[in-house]
């Protein structure tokens, strides 16, 4: 068992689990060794409020080698109840959460685990069993929103397991005591080109919790038709015009394919500022 300090870089959407009810895959970086980590199982919604960590917070957690997951970065959380939220990162950099110092500090972390392209990531996956890493697309073509039924077979299986079985499982375990996550009927993808001559273009599924929470929240607020427009406006128009968008890539355990599990959107107005002043 090892006690690690992990800067949280993303949380993927909760996945139903027969053993753990539901789990949230958390990915981050060890702030002492700068090694990427994938932490599981964490039943995030069952954690007490003081342990519900957010992106860019540092948590202290007890880890051990994964039981069956052989991906290089995967670690088993020995006891989720022992999670502690620390303030190292925010104390050092965040004068205010979205100020210049915070964004520049985050970019410096991202660049430590930044790969040239998805092609390069796949090379390291074959060679070193790498399964996590950031990339910065050369050009983002589109952000697409399609019905689950229109996805590839593996995407449909993954999306249905994540987005629809959740309801049945949670009702079976909790009854009316705990509200299940609302099923999501869409697959979200980014179309982009990498900064690599070998790249012929990609269209990659997104499982970032922030994006899926936006869908759930805005659907209730604006309705089925308007929510699509709102999502396109933020996650394509705003992200590409106002931000330099980086994708946090991670492989799926079952299918071994890279998904976009997190988004880092650095303000373009701060472009060129890579150190704190």
Per-residue model confidence (pLDDT) at position 181: 60
What's the whole-model pTM score? Answer: 0.86
244: how many CB neighbours lie within 10 A of its CB?
A: 16
DSSP assignment of 68-80 equals: S---TTEEEES-G
Using CA atoms, how far residue 45 sits from 14, 50, 209, in Å, is: 9, 12, 13
Q: What distance in Å separates the CA atoms of residue 114 and residue 107, rounded to the nearest whole number? A: 10
Q: What distance in Å separates the CA atoms of residue 193 and residue 176, rounded to the nearest whole number? A: 46
Per-residue model confidence (pLDDT) at position 276: 43
Per-residue model confidence (pLDDT) at position 165: 45
Q: Which of 63, 61, 23 is nearest to 165 (CA)?
A: 23
Per-residue model confidence (pLDDT) at position 19: 59
3-state secondary structure of 229: helix
The CATH class of 2-97 is mainly beta
Per-residue model confidence (pLDDT) at position 91: 65
Per-residue model confidence (pLDDT) at position 149: 65
Per-residue model confidence (pLDDT) at position 177: 44
DSSP lists the bridge partners of residue 74 as 38
Q: What distance in Å separates the CA atoms of residue 19 and residue 15, rounded to the nearest whole number? A: 12
| Cβ atoms of residues 254 and 239 within 8 Å | no
Note the pLDDT tens digit of each residue in 39-57: 988 888 778 888 889 899 9
DSSP lists the bridge partners of residue 12 as 208
Question: What is the distance of C-alpha 194 from the center of its chain?
Answer: 19
Mean pLDDT by 10 residues, the chain (277 residues): 93 65 82 93 82 90 90 91 82 58 89 96 95 97 84 53 44 46 81 97 92 89 90 97 97 88 94 57
């Amino acid at each position: 068992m090892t006690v690690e300090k992990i800067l949280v870089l993303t949380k993927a959407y909760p996945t139903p689990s027969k053993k753990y009810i539901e789990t949230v895959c958390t990915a981050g970086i060890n702030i002492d060794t700068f090694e990427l980590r994938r932490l599981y199982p964490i039943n995030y919604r069952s954690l007490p409020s003081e342990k519900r960590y957010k992106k860019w917070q540092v948590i202290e957690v007890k880890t051990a080698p994964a039981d069956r997951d052989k991906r290089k970065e995967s670690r088993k959380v020995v006891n989720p109840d022992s999670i502690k939220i620390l303030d190292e990162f925010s104390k050092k950099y965040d004068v205010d959460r979205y100020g210049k110092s915070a964004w520049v500090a985050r970019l410096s972390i991202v660049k430590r685990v930044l790969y040239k392209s998805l092609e390069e990531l796949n090379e390291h996956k074959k060679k070193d069993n790498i399964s996590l890493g950031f990339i910065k697309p050369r050009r983002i073509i589109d952000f697409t929103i399609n019905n689950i039924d229109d996805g590839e077979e593996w995407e449909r299986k993954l999306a249905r397991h994540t987005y629809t079985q959740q309801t049945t499982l949670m009702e079976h375990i909790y009854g009316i005591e705990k509200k299940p996550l609302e099923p999501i009927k869409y697959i979200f993808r980014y179309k982009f080109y990498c900064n690599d001559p070998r790249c012929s273009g990609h269209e990659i599924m997104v499982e970032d919790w922030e994006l899926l929470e936006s869908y759930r929240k805005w659907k209730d607020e604006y309705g089925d038709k308007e929510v699509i427009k709102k999502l396109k406006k933020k996650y394509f128009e705003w992200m590409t015009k106002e931000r330099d968008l980086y994708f946090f890539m991670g492989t799926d355990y079952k299918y071994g394919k890279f998904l976009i599990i997190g988004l880092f959107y650095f303000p373009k107005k701060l472009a060129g500022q890579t150190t704190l002043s």
